[in-house]
Amino acid sequence: MTLRPTFAASLLAACAGLALAATLHAAGSDAAGPAPRPALTVSAVQPQMQSLRIALQANGSIMAWQEASIGAEIGGLRLQEVRVNVGDSVKAGQVLATFAAETVQADIAQARAALAEAQASAAEARANAERAQSLKASGALSEAQINQYLTGGQTAQARVESARAALASQELRLRYTQVRAADSGVISSRTATVGAVVNPGTELFRMIRKGRLEWRAEVTSAEVARIRVGNPATVTAASGEQLQGKVRAIAPTADPQTRNTLVYVDLPGVDAAGSSAKAGMFARGVFQLGTASALTVPQESVVMREAFSYVFAIGPDNRVAQRKVQTGRRDGGRVEILDGLTADARIVGRGAGFLTDGDTVRVADAPAAPAAR
């Protein structure tokens, strides 16, 4: 049986098409797929052991180092003049206020007159006693009369001493009409009012002694044992001013309500009148407790996502794997890694913040070290 030419040609064309399709399919199956395109060019770093400072953060208040209460030592007199106000710096012995002294001066004059009278009476009594003593051998006076004259002389001398003490007391009252600073410092409060008549002991001024301030930090019971007297501390006031100080004392007891212990930090060189830090301000501070070795990575290698810290480890095929780590201290652009990373790991440095888990990266060559001179 002979096929017709048209049918034979169609059959041959169909077979050729099937053969071509099979060849193309086989070629597509044997060829490898396109390599994944790097998501980013990054730098690779390794964790390093580094000595980091040990710091302890705390909160507290800036307070006066010591306060002095300056009050009236005399009563019943009118306050005549007030020479200082809140914020003024004063020196020890400086006159801060004065009371009207007319009444005291009159009392002094009276006391001086009484002393002069007592001295005159004593002179006469001494003369009588001396004459009586001289007549003792003649028998002109009895023994009782002689003793009476001698006792009168001693009594008159005692009146002189009493009058002299009364005069000294009035002169002391006159000195008390001037209210003087007990020490140098800064006036922190004033209740003295011109024209007021005050009682003895009434507070007129309150003063920050030496103008010195201190930071009273509240430290938890678990952390206070790490602090020692003499440890340096950096205190940041609410105004942003940073103050350098040293631990002066640690309270022997803890607050029964908060269970916190007060640590007193001296702030030498801080003048309450000139510094932006004022007594009563809230302040944060950091205690420097020394140094310790730690595993660290550059700060740019640590990525914060959903309140957790991550780094990206680079695999042999330049594919990154996201690893959760626990961070600690930070110092000079380095971050301490407490958990989640080993010292031999190879992680992403620059560019970590733009990656996701499983990305393929291109690792840039590390810059060549400078030639030694």
13, part of any domain:
no
105, part of any domain:
yes
> Are 314 and 239 members of one domain?
yes
- In this prediction, residue 371 has a pLDDT band, given cuts at 50, 70 and 90, of very low
DSSP secondary structure letters along 98-163? EE--HHHHHHHHHHHHHHHHHHHHHHHHHHHHHHHHHTTTTTSS-HHHHHHHHHHHHHHHHHHHHH
pLDDT of residue 1: 41
> Are 359 and 231 members of one domain?
yes
150-159, 272-281, 363-372: which range is least confident on average? Answer: 363-372
Pairwise pLDDT comparison (203 vs 275), residue with the higher score:
203
pLDDT of residue 122: 87
User: Percent of the chain having pLDDT more than 90?
Assistant: 51
pLDDT of residue 7: 43
Q: Under DSSP, is residue 21 helix (H, G, I), strand (E, B) or coil? A: helix
Residue pair 352/303 in contact by the 8 Å Cβ criterion: yes
Task: Please enumerate in sequence order all residues whose Cβ is within 8 A of that of 54, keeping only pairs 6 or more positions apart, or say none.
Answer: 288, 289, 290, 291, 292, 329
pLDDT at 33 over 60: no
Where residue 324 sits, what CATH number does that domain have? 2.40.30.170
Where residue 145 sits, what CATH number does that domain have? 1.10.287
> Are 356 and 237 members of one domain?
yes
Helices (H), the chain: 5-30, 102-134, 143-176
| Cα separations in angstroms, 177 against 77, 98, 180, 203, 236 | 8, 5, 9, 14, 43
Tell if the pTM clears 0.75, that is, is over it.
Answer: no
Of 163, 190, 211, the residue that ends a domain is: 211
User: Percent of the chain having pLDDT more than 70?
Assistant: 86
9-18, 284-293, 299-308: which range is least confident on average? Answer: 9-18
> Are 106 and 224 members of one domain?
no
> Are 327 and 260 members of one domain?
yes
What residue type is 141 in one-letter code?
A: L
> Are 55 and 82 members of one domain?
no
How does the average pLDDT of the chain come out, rounded? Answer: 84
Residue pair 266/66 in contact by the 8 Å Cβ criterion: no
Q: How many CB atoms lie within 10 A of CB 111?
A: 19
Model confidence pLDDT, tens digit, residues 123-179? 888 888 887 777 766 767 777 877 887 888 888 889 999 999 999 999 999 999 999
Task: Please enumerate in sequence order all residues whose Cβ is within 8 A of that of 154, keeping only pairs 6 or more positions apart, or say none.
Answer: none
4, part of any domain:
no
Domain range enclosing 105: 101-176
Q: How many domains does the chain have?
A: 3
Residue pair 181/90 in contact by the 8 Å Cβ criterion: yes
> Are 222 and 352 members of one domain?
yes
Task: Please enumerate in sequence order all residues whose Cβ is within 8 A of that of 209, keeping only pairs 6 or more positions apart, or say none.
Answer: 64, 65, 66, 67, 68, 183, 184, 185
5, part of any domain:
no
* Exposed/middle/buried for residue 285 (C-beta within 10 Å: 0-12, 13-18, 19+): buried
142, part of any domain:
yes
Where residue 197 sits, what CATH number does that domain have? 2.40.50.100
- In this prediction, residue 35 has a pLDDT band, given cuts at 50, 70 and 90, of low
pLDDT of residue 115: 92
> Are 232 and 284 members of one domain?
yes
> Are 240 and 345 members of one domain?
yes
> Are 160 and 44 members of one domain?
no
227, part of any domain:
yes
10, part of any domain:
no
276, part of any domain:
yes
User: Degrees (nearest 5) of the Cα angle 348, 353, 356?
Assistant: 80
* Exposed/middle/buried for residue 352 (C-beta within 10 Å: 0-12, 13-18, 19+): buried
> Are 114 and 238 members of one domain?
no
> Are 231 and 186 members of one domain?
no
Mean pLDDT of 96-107: 94
Mean pLDDT of 193-197: 93
Closest to 260 measured CA to CA, from 268, 247, 250, 273 = 250
Residue pair 110/173 in contact by the 8 Å Cβ criterion: no
Model confidence pLDDT, tens digit, residues 318-363? 888 999 999 988 887 889 899 998 888 999 988 888 888 888 888 8
Of 211, 228, 254, the residue that ends a domain is: 211
Q: Given phi > 0 = left and psi -120 to 50 = alpha, else beta, which region is 333?
A: left
Of 153, 176, 199, the residue that ends a domain is: 176
Mean pLDDT of 290-310: 90
